[in-house]
Structure 1
Amino acid sequence: MTEVLFYHLTVSTLEDALPGLLERSVSRGWRAVVQTSSEERRNAIDTVLWTFRDDSFLAHGLDSEPNAGEQPILLTTGPENDNSAQIRFLVDGAPPPDLGSYERGVLLFDGHDKAQLAAARSHWRELKEQGHAVTYWQQTEDRRWERKA
């Protein structure tokens, strides 16, 4: 089954944490898909990935653009895996599709948002029942990830 990591954001925002996680995924040779809960959030993350650091950018595209399947990182609102990604990021409470074809799934959720916390708990139960190897990581004050479960 798929390894599924739950990342509990307590210090950083999604916009601060996501680019670094995507960089690590791409450096492994993986393609990534990032699923958001709305087109508005998808478009906001698109802007972040172009501007998050002056000396770098992450090559990516939107599911609504031509040649979406060729992108190393694809931003989407749907369950499809148009770029044949090995890792799927779910943000803003986006519901997980079938994760069985991925090497890894990553759910990032804002620890200050009650709706996202509730969704993460629900997704944890569902994914564990499906037989996925789930782990829970909480952010420390110095913005590192500490495994809690």
Structure 2
Amino acid sequence: MTQVDFYILKEQAKANRYMLACRLVEKIYHQGRRVFIHTVSNEEARHMDRLLWTFRQGSFVPHAQLQDANSAVTPVIIGCGGDAVEESDVLINLTTDVPNFFSRFERVAEVIDKEPELKTAGRERFRFYRDRGYPLNTHEIS
């Protein structure tokens, strides 16, 4: 059964959810796992693509956007809409909805920041997973 982890940025945190997602992706990549980053739009996917190249000095996370990726050799893929790659281990969800394909992944990382509408949508997703019996963890990030 898919494990769901909520990563919640505390009010005083200086980072935003995109930077937190980059940190998570880097950590997951170094564990040898494959990641799919699910975004709301092509624009947000491009934003994540740029951030993964620049978010931390000396960091290297091989990645590509879904339409440009060779999923057999690319460990981190960024996409939007209803598409996802089959062979990823971890889904990082940056949307406000539960993706209909989430259960194909071993783990789901839900990234929440201080924006009120994102917090509200995050609570709804938490209830969705909880009500269906998925194992949940919550991590508060400073």
> May I ask how many residue pairs the two structures share in their alignment?
139
What stretches of structure 1 of length at least 5 have no aligned partner? 144-149
List, as ranges, runs of 4+ consecutive aligned residues in structure 1 with deviation greater than 2 Å: 66-70, 78-81, 92-101
RMSD: 1.8
| Match in the other structure for 2:4 | 4
Match of 1:75 among 70, 75, 78: 78
| Match in the other structure for 1:147 | none
CA contact (8 A) 2:41 2:81 kept: no
Q: Distance in 1 between matches of 2:106 and 2:21?
A: 18
Q: TM-score, normalised by structure 2?
A: 0.87
Q: TM-score, normalised by structure 1?
A: 0.84
| 1:132 has 2:124 as partner | no
What stretches of structure 2 of length at least 5 have no aligned partner? none
| Match in the other structure for 2:59 | 56
- Give the drift of 1:68: 4.3
CA contact (8 A) 1:19 1:49 kept: yes
CA contact (8 A) 2:97 2:125 kept: no
| Match in the other structure for 2:88 | 85
Identity %: 24
| 1:22 has 2:25 as partner | yes
Q: Which protein, 1 or 2, shows the higher relative CO under an 8 Å CA cutoff with sep ≥ 6?
A: 2
| Match in the other structure for 2:121 | 119
CA contact (8 A) 2:9 2:140 kept: yes
